């Protein structure tokens, strides 16, 4: 019994070592004419040399798609590259390499994910596959679709390369693609699935490419205005919230929300005499913020709500440039707080980090960040975190 329990852990550890060595093998063969020719078939474009291919892989960050395909699927001049690794290996390593060679890419949907187990559904036929991978719950989302390889080693299954991640809304198209790819030659399966993934993501992202707030609202500031019976008491309550890590001070009588206990991160609070102004990026968020503040701070009486369309303000001669800049700055501060992992309607309800899984998604994310920069420039406000740093972080 002890051996049975230890074997999955042994296989996981050996699997990582095998993958590192296999990827090194591919990297060393990029100059081979047969590899360059295979890459031309995979990407449907001509490469003159291995250096051209290497630059292309780097620009598109396409190693996780191309390298496994080249090792286990591509028919080179003599044999698949992975078959040569199998011939030189034995024992557990040989078993793993043979499983990689025998495993085709397919489409799976995450049905259940905990710290102990992950349950995947193969969408082509509904087969359920259980994985014991302790770290998967930190990187996978419920109902997310994966173009991936799952190794079946009898007493254990391992998740190998994940070539693409897609939102659940792409399921119908990916079911059709998976069923068609199942009858295709080995070399054509992954390219077909990746083409289908790109089409599916394009449909998701084409729903609304307009720059919006993270929850789909317009570029606006929604402010709930409270009458304060005793400013001293309210100020003390806000100071306590700062000590608890729920707020952060941003100048005299000005605070920013840092915890969802009070509201969305980046929302701002300002105490002006006997008035407390609570501002955020949508009316729904404003209502939620107001309700939480009323429960936490005694002596608040909600007076009015103000909605300011920042697009309109940019062309409004009635507003001073300084006021427009301040409102735009507050919006930018909130919008870019946790931008990378905040679902966006302009990305079809997925996060920028998820959208980076495809070339079209990367283009959409870059377009959003450029729009943010343009809005910042026009409004005269500054981007709190340079767009280039946000992009670099997403590319990792």
pLDDT tens digits along 208-246: 445 555 555 677 888 999 999 899 999 999 999 999 999
Determine the pLDDT at residue 50.
Answer: 86
> What is the pLDDT at residue 121?
95
Measured distance CA(17)–CA(9) in Å, rounded: 13
Res 175: pLDDT: 94
CA-closest candidate to residue 93, choices 27, 10, 158, 25: 10
pLDDT < 50 regions, the chain: 1-5, 207-209, 317
Give CA 163 to chain center in angstroms: 14
Digit-coded pLDDT (tens) for 333-390:
888 888 888 888 778 888 999 999 888 888 888 888 887 877 776 666 777 777 888 8
Closest by Cα among 91, 100, 129, 101 to 113: 129
- Provide the pLDDT for residue 244: 93
Burial class (CB in 10 A: 0-12, 13-18, 19+), 1: exposed
- What integer pLDDT is reported at residue 4 of this predicted model? 45
Asked if residues 271 and 231 have their Cβ atoms less than 8 Å apart, the reply is yes
Q: Using an 8 Å Cβ cutoff, are 247 and 269 in contact? A: yes
pLDDT value of position 77 = 56
* Predicted local confidence at residue 322, as pLDDT: 63
- Residue 197 CB-half CA count within 13 A: 31
Q: What is the pLDDT of residue 1?
A: 34
Alpha-carbon distance of 273 to 257, in angstroms, equals: 20
Average pLDDT for the chain? 83
């Amino acid at each position: 019994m002890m051996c049975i329990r230890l074997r999955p852990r042994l296989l996981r550890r050996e699997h990582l070592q095998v993958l590192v060595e296999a990827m090194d093998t591919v990297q060393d063969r990029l100059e081979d004419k047969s590899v360059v020719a295979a890459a031309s078939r995979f990407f449907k474009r001509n490469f003159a040399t291995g250096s051209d291919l290497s630059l292309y892989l780097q620009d598109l960050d396409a190693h996780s798609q191309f390298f496994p395909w080249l090792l286990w699927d591509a028919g080179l001049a003599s044999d698949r590259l992975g078959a040569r690794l199998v011939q030189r290996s034995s024992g557990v390593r040989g078993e793993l390499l043979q499983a990689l060679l025998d495993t085709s890419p397919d489409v799976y949907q995450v049905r259940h994910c905990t710290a102990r187990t992950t349950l995947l559904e193969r969408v082509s036929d509904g087969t359920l596959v259980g994985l014991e991978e302790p770290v998967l719950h930190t990187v996978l989302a419920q109902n997310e679709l994966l173009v991936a390889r799952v190794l079946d080693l009898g007493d254990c299954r391992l998740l190998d390369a994940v070539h693409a991640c897609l939102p659940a809304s792409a399921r119908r198209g990916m079911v059709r693609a998976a069923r068609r790819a199942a009858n295709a030659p080995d070399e054509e399966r992954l390219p077909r699935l990746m083409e289908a993934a790109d089409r599916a993501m394009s449909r998701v992202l084409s729903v609304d490419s307009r720059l919006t707030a993270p929850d789909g609202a317009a570029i606006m500031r929604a402010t709930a205005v409270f009458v304060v019976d005793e400013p001293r008491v309210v100020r003390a309550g806000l100071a306590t919230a700062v000590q608890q890590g729920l707020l952060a001070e941003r100048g005299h009588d000005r605070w920013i929300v840092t915890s969802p206990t009070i509201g969305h991160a980046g929302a701002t609070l300002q105490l002006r005499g006997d008035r407390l102004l609570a501002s955020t990026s949508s009316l729904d968020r404003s209502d939620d913020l107001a309700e939480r503040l009323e429960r936490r701070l005694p002596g608040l009486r909600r007076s009015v709500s103000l909605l300011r369309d920042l697009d309109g303000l940019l062309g409004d001669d009635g507003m001073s440039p300084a006021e427009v800049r301040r409102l735009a700055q507050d919006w930018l501060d909130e919008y870019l707080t946790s931008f990378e992992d905040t679902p966006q309607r302009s990305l079809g309800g997925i996060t920028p980090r998820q959208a980076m899984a495809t070339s079209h998604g990367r283009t959409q994310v870059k377009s959003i960040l450029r729009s943010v920069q343009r809005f910042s420039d026009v409004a005269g406000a500054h981007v709190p975190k340079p767009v280039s740093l946000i992009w670099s972080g997403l590319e990792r």
